[in-house]
Amino acid sequence: MLEASGVTVRYGRRAALEDVSLRVVPGTVTGLAGPSGCGKSTLARVLALMLRPDAGTVTLDGVPVLRWRQRAPRELRVRVALLYQQPRPAVDPRLPLAEVIGEPLAAAGRPGPDRVRELAELTGLTGDLLGRRPHEVSDGQLQRACLARALALEPRYLICDEMTTMLDASTQAHLVGVVRDYQRRTGAGVLAISHDMTLLGRWADRVVHLGEPPFRTFAESAHQIRQVRDLGE
């Protein structure tokens, strides 16, 4: 389990998160909803070990996280992957897509063109796109590459921070399908962050709501999901 408990993050004097707890359970999709600016992305960065909270703890499969960012132990770091809303700032603009996807493999000391092709196929990227640089592909194609990169080391937890907000309905349905298949196949835990309750209703097993500060409370709403599902089916 990936678990944040009592997490507080401050940017200057402003608290972005205050005493927030959340669990991401393997084999399930946890939806995280809340209004713009409520701290969803900050929580995503804390859970991905990319931001040290000012207070509170994060444990990863029972191991407390003591170091963050590049100082986090590799075996912990590679267990969590984070996918951003905007793919463009998330990639090195100089690298062709094949290298973007292969970055984690190379960093882990096991580069593999076959694995890159496999990942590309999984996310629906055709071979001719792998030689292109980010400015030569669309947002949808670049986000597919970012998803392939996120899955490269088979993370045990995948955090999707508004992964499809910039994408059209068809690409969204495809990428959510890829994540869902991966999660079912590997038993990974997924945190799906979105402001779109309709999407979370179709995707998540449960949804937690993050309120606005200073009264930050979680409400779990199986009921609300059921309502959305009824509308959808």
Q: Which residues bind other proteins (CB under 8 A)?
A: 35-37, 85, 124, 126, 128, 137-141, 162, 165-174, 176-177, 195-199, 201-203, 231-232
Cα–Cα dist 183/84, whole Å? 18
Nearer to other proteins, 61 or 212 (CB): 212
- Min dist CB 127 to other proteins, Å, is 12
- Min dist CB 122 to other proteins, Å, is 14
Nearer to other proteins, 44 or 60 (CB): 44
Residue with tokens 């799906």: 192
Nearer to other proteins, 92 or 168 (CB): 168
CA angle, 190 as apex, 187 and 195 as ends, to 5°? 155
Nearer to other proteins, 118 or 196 (CB): 196
- Min dist CB 36 to other proteins, Å, is 4
Cα–Cα dist 163/176, whole Å? 9
What does the block give as tokens for 27? Answer: 């084999």
Nearer to other proteins, 58 or 116 (CB): 116
- Min dist CB 128 to other proteins, Å, is 7
Q: What is the DSSP string of 150-210?
A: HHTT--SEEEEESTTTTS-HHHHHHHHHHHHHHHHHH--EEEEE-S-HHHHHHH-SEEEEE
- Min dist CB 26 to other proteins, Å, is 24
Q: Answer yes or no: are the C-beta atoms of 165 and 194 closer than 8 Å.
A: yes
